[in-house]
Amino acid sequence: MAILQNTDLRILVVDDQESVRSHLSHELLRMGVEQVLEAASAEEALAAFEQHQPDLVLLDILMPGNNGYWIAERIRDLEDGRWTPIIFLTGMDRDEDLWEGIRTGGDDYLIKPVRATVLAAKIRAMQRLLAMQRRLVAVTEELYEANRQLNSLIERDALTGLVNRRGFDRVLHEQIRLARRESTPLTLMMCDIDFFKQYNDNLGHPEGDKCLKAVANMLARTCQRPGDLACRVGGEEFALILPNTPRSGAMMFARALTELLASGKLPHPASPVSPYVTVSGGITTCVPDESTTSMGMVTRADEALYAAKALGRNHFFSYELQVTAKDHLVAQR
């Protein structure tokens, strides 16, 4: 009859004496343990631990070669965040032996010869600890997911569904760090809807909201790669973070965005530059180094945006190339 009920435990028994391993394996299976693994050396023990990831380890201290203390330390190195109870098997009961066992990663110990009732009691105690640890891990994962969803809501613009200014600041900082580490180009675009105040004054704020959502949708559609991100960072101001995008790629992206907006033909009766909604944008591209900051990139993109507006709007202007996307295409031909 099984002593341990409702258990799916996998236990690793490490002892150089085959008779001890066989006796413990027999007792464990009789108690109701689902699977017992055996190892006669440190090498076998570590290999079995890595391959099978047991729920509990019964570990002899006096082993030929590397002893049980050494094995316990290696097991702790292999756990990678999880916890596996280790119960030492020993014929020594001195205080200093107990201290060394705890120091090297052990959780409890049994004096040989091991009695079945004591062994069962120790395993039940470890089961309770394992259950608490697993519940703690589950709660931690639940909290992490809840926090991730909360951050997603906090960083989402309610009107357009794009990432808001809070999310933009975080992602830009992360992308600068990533591009610096990988030595890849990073492009930032800051965009404004041209003459948006006049749009609201002429058509009303409800129509203005529709316009913002339509432009946001077009920006999101141009961000086809997984790393590209469209953000709403102000009233009618948007930003595009484009990882691994060189200057030439940024100019192609800007032209594609301009063409997409033109094809949308959103009416703008109050615009002096076009009968339809247009956007002006500033572009900055760099391979980030230690001096590169989020503020610096935003400042350069803003300066390029002002230049685009000074040129009559409906332009994307590159800070580094000092040319519009349209003129850049002409120069390439």
Query: What positions carry a catalytic annotation?
Result: 236
Give the SS3 label for residue 181. Answer: helix
What type of residue is 90?
Answer: T
Place of tokens 């996307």: 325
* DSSP 3-state of 118: helix
Which spans in 161-230 are helix H?
165-182, 196-203, 205-222
Amino acid type, 118: V
Distance CA 93, CA 110 (A): 9
Please check whether residue 195 is in contact with residue 236, taking contact to mean a CB–CB distance below 8 angstroms.
Answer: no
List the beta bridge partners of residue 188.
241, 284
Q: What is the DSSP string of 67-101?
A: -HHHHHHHHHHHSTT----EEEEES---HHHHHHH
Local structure of residue 293 (DSSP, 8 states): -
Rounded to the nearest 5 degrees, what angle is found at the Cα of 289, between the Cα atoms of 287 and 290?
A: 160
